[in-house]
């Protein structure tokens, strides 16, 4: 029997939100999860639209959780083989592997990306999506994250979904420029998608 959750997703189809797993993880480490429920269908589709409109190449999703954004990316026409899903929680990584065949799942810490990813990337990275709760981390840790992304995708920057209306990152201090690309009230809580790019060297 197929059931439908309050988020409008099939609860027993592989690759869907897996609310019990998500909630259990939130209970055990709320700061690491950053959210009590997975991203909504609307938010996932907004992100997928931005990614699909971008270039070719691997899409690295950091903090893939139970895979709701990954699935939306596939539904938007991005081949599973382009998806490299990074998730720190082994149980969630196992769920991603079981439910999203064809993707590359890397159970690793976002702060050790190069050592885990470089050999597994099928080409120059096209897009990086960040889902880890960066906003809760101190500036020095945010700097380290930006440096990690720069090493796997020089000059590219990343998309970050967040519940802040204003930029969740002090982007100038991090040497980044910032553009808010999307906002939706149809998420709990309402969410924005920001694009951060490294600032080029000063002109002249
Ligand atoms: C807000 S949830 C997002 C999950 C999913 N992408 C979604 O939109 O529903 C954040 C995810 O990032 C993972 N995470 C947190 N810190 C991480 C880290 N340092 N490295 C890799 N993943 C991390 C958590 O385990 C969790 O699955």
CATH code at 144?
3.40.50.150
Instruction: Convert the pLDDT of each residue in 123-159 to its tens digit.
Output: 999 999 999 999 999 999 999 999 999 999 999 999 9
User: Using CA atoms, how far apart are residues 135 and 175, in angstroms rounded to an integer?
Assistant: 16
Q: Cβ(47) to ligand 1 under 6 A?
A: no
Q: Which domain holds residue 148?
A: 30-198
Q: Which of 83-87, 115-119, 185-189 has the lowest mean pLDDT?
A: 115-119
Confidence (pLDDT) at 157: 97
Q: Is the confidence at residue 23, as pLDDT, over 60?
A: yes
Which atom from ligand 1 is nearest to the alpha carbon of 37?
9
Q: Is the confidence at residue 40, as pLDDT, over 60?
A: yes
* Residue 16 domain-assigned (yes or no): no
Minimal-distance CA residue to ligand 1 atom 9: 38
Confidence (pLDDT) at 202: 59
* Residue 165 domain-assigned (yes or no): yes
* Residue 9 domain-assigned (yes or no): no
Number of domains the chain is built from: 1
Q: How far is the CA of 113 from the centre of ligand 1 (A)?
A: 14
Q: What is the mean pLDDT of the chain?
A: 90
* Residue 47 domain-assigned (yes or no): yes
Name the band, by pLDDT with cuts 50, 70 and 90, for residue 10.
very low
* Residue 22 domain-assigned (yes or no): no
Q: Is the confidence at residue 3, as pLDDT, over 50?
A: no
Name the band, by pLDDT with cuts 50, 70 and 90, for residue 204.
low
* Residue 25 domain-assigned (yes or no): no
Name the band, by pLDDT with cuts 50, 70 and 90, for residue 119.
confident
C-alpha 177 chain-centroid distance: 19
Q: Cβ(109) to ligand 1 under 6 A?
A: yes
* Residue 11 domain-assigned (yes or no): no
- Quick one: average pLDDT of 105-134? 94
Residue-wise DSSP of 134-192: GGGS-HHHHHHHHHHHHHHSTTT-EEEEES-SS-SS-TTTTTEEEEEEEEESSSSS-EE
Which atom from ligand 1 is nearest to the alpha carbon of 29?
25
């Amino acid at each position: 029997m197929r059931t439908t959750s309050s988020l409008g997703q099939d609860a027993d189809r592989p690759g869907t939100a897996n609310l019990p797993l998500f909630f259990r993880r939130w209970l055990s480490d709320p700061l690491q999860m950053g959210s009590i429920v997975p991203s909504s269908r609307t938010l996932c589709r907004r992100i997928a639209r931005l990614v699909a409109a971008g270039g070719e190449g691997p899409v690295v999703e950091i903090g893939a959780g139970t895979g709701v954004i990954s699935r939306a990316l596939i539904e938007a026409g991005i081949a599973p083989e382009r998806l490299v899903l990074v998730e720190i929680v082994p149980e969630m990584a196992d769920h991603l592997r079981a439910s999203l065949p064809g993707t590359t799942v890397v159970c690793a810490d976002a702060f050790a990306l190069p050592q885990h990813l470089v050999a597994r990337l099928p080409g120059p990275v096209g897009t990086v999506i960040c889902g880890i709760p960066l906003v809760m981390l101190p500036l020095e840790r945010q700097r380290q994250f930006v440096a990690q992304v720069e090493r796997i995708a020089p000059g590219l920057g990343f998309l970050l979904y967040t519940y802040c209306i204003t930029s969740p990152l002090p982007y100038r201090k991090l040497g980044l420029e910032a553009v808010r690309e999307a906002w939706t009230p149809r998420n709990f809580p309402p969410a924005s998608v920001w694009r951060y790019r490294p600032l080029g060297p000063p002109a002249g």
